[in-house]
Chain A
Amino acid sequence: MLKRNLPLAIVFTTALLLVAAFFIPHRPFGDLESRFLNWYAIVAGFTYLLGIDSLARHHILRVTRRAPGWPFSLLLVLALFGTLGLGVYSWFKFQSPFALRAPFMWLYTYMIIPLQATMFATLAFFIVSAAYRAFRVRNFSATLLLLAACLVMFGNVPLGGEVWRAVASAMHKVIPSIDPAALGALEIPAVVKDWLMKVGQTAAVRGIGIGLSLGGIAMSLRIVLGIERTYLSS
């Protein structure tokens, strides 16, 4: 009974205090909020330790048991503690691991930056391949999406402006009364892109955002009132 009701009471009381602290920034509620925030920062700090412990334990076990793919686990453990060791050494030797001459910064500049940038850059290749296969004009909605994507891609880079100026020059040759400089300066692809970003997609994002927020509020209320108890494993 106590095992189930005590956590529910703690959640309910804490939520009420936090709501009161938000709307009444004076003593004692204002101080209470500050205290809660400090606790939150401390707990957030400890989650890193928990994460390192969990990750290291899992992969050291895989190495000791020679589980399939254990050399990758070994590499991970070596990289984890190697980075930690270099960071600590740099801290003592250079007062900060981020000092430019510190060994940690060497690791960061020549391994972490290129590795992370490469991982992210390879996404471009997969996106192109996926878009080429999946972006098909199968129905009206798909056609609309494809058209909007092409217009944004076209208007978002200087290529759109260059092509538009070439179109303006071509139009001037056909209709001499058209001023190619004035028409070229309009940069219609960029204007269309700006409109799509500021109006079209913003309306959709706002709709999604409002839906998510309402869902978040509903879920929060369910937790505060003890209706949602999955965090208690019940």
Chain B
Amino acid sequence: MKFWDTLSGLDRRILYLLLALAVALPLILKPHVAIRTSEPVRRAFNAVESLPEGSVVMISIDYDPSSAPEVQPMLVAILRHCFRRNLKVILTGQLALGLPLGEIALNQVAPEMNKTYGVDYVNIGYRPGYTAMMVGIGREIRDYFQTDYRGVPLDSFEFMRAVHNYRDIGLLVSLAHGGVADAWIIYVGGRFGQRIVVGCTGVNAPNLYQFYSSGQLAGLIGGLQGASEYETLIDRPGSATLGMPAQSVAHGLIILLLCIGNLGFLISRRRKKN
């Protein structure tokens, strides 16, 4: 009786220790795991892959450092994919604290792909009041962004001279951890017919499946698993693939704990009834 009671109410410090070990050990040992690619991520990959060379992709950093471990690998993988396909990238962001993450990723990926600022990509920065900005770009991007994030006029970049509104943007990628992705879908997808791919945290993914199923999203990359799938598709494993064994073991541990806890709960309840 006491054993089952103890089992159904394990001390939380034991749970914390077990979870810490479940996450840390795979990160240290780095076992190889096979990554299966799902349809939403394959469609996100195909949305980038199908763009003609020279097309413009706008990437919006709609997350901040709290979600970076999950979403930053998506940004790095998508940038690698875009640059490999010789697509032009416009980076913007709806969270002021997230924008430096975009700058960090650009400075990591652009040099390794031999891409030049202003020729292959620009960072136009952040403006407050994102719904107004989203609708405003539908008319003219310069109404909101006359310069890049360093104050250099947009028209001084050759490829930006041809970019005025969503008609000149082949694909919009929102990397989000909150409701900003919903705003892109509602205001830009719904009103201007812009093709949108969303990358989001695992917690947010269930909320976005409704837009994916209805065809309002060209692709959906959900959580660290989605990021690792995208890395697999571009054949360039990164930090998401490295993190998947840890996430696998952590999920396995949680399922095991739930089974043990419920077994203890059921047995002790039956014995109390008897």
A interface residues, Cβ below 8 angstroms from B: 33-34, 37-38, 40-45, 47-48, 95-96, 98-100, 105, 108-109, 112-113, 115-117, 119-121, 124-125, 128-129, 131-133, 135-137, 146, 149-150, 153-154, 156-159, 161-162, 187, 190, 194, 197-198, 201-202, 205-206, 209
Contacts and interface: CB of A to CB of B under 8 A. Distances in A.
19 contacts: A33-B135, A34-B143, A41-B128, A44-B129, A47-B128, A98-B100, A108-B100, A116-B65, A117-B68, A124-B23, A133-B261, A135-B258, A137-B265, A156-B223, A157-B247, A158-B244, A197-B205, A198-B213, A202-B206
A135 B262 contact: yes
Contacts of B129: 37, 40-45
Contacts of A100: 103-104, 107
Contacts of A115: 65
Contact of A159 (B19, B139, B213, B252): B252
A136 B261 contact: yes
Contact of A202 (B15, B209, B254): B209
Interface string B213-228: 1000000000101000
Contacts of A137: 262, 265-266
B100 A105 contact: yes
Task: Determine chain A's interface SS by DSSP, over half rule.
Answer: helix
Given A137-B266, A158-B33, A131 B19 contact: no
A100 B244 CA distance: 29
Contacts of B136: 34, 37-38, 41
A55 B12 CA distance: 35
Given A38-B132, A132-B10, A153 B251 contact: yes
Interface residues of B, number: 69
B258 A132 contact: yes
Given A98-B100, A132-B15, A205-B209, 10 more contacts: A41-B133, A98-B99, A116-B64, A120-B66, A124-B250, A128-B16, A131-B257, A157-B244, A158-B248, A162-B33
A109 B38 contact: no
Interface of B: 9-10, 12, 15-16, 19-20, 23, 33-36, 38-39, 64-69, 97, 99-101, 103-104, 107, 123, 127-129, 131-133, 135-136, 139, 143-144, 149-151, 202, 205-207, 209-210, 212-213, 223, 225, 244-245, 247-255, 257-258, 261-262, 265-266
B218 to A, nearest CB: 16
B261 A159 contact: no
Task: Determine chain B's interface SS by DSSP, over half rule.
Answer: helix
Given A187-B36, A205-B209, A41 B132 contact: yes
A162 B104 CA distance: 35
A197 B269 CA distance: 33
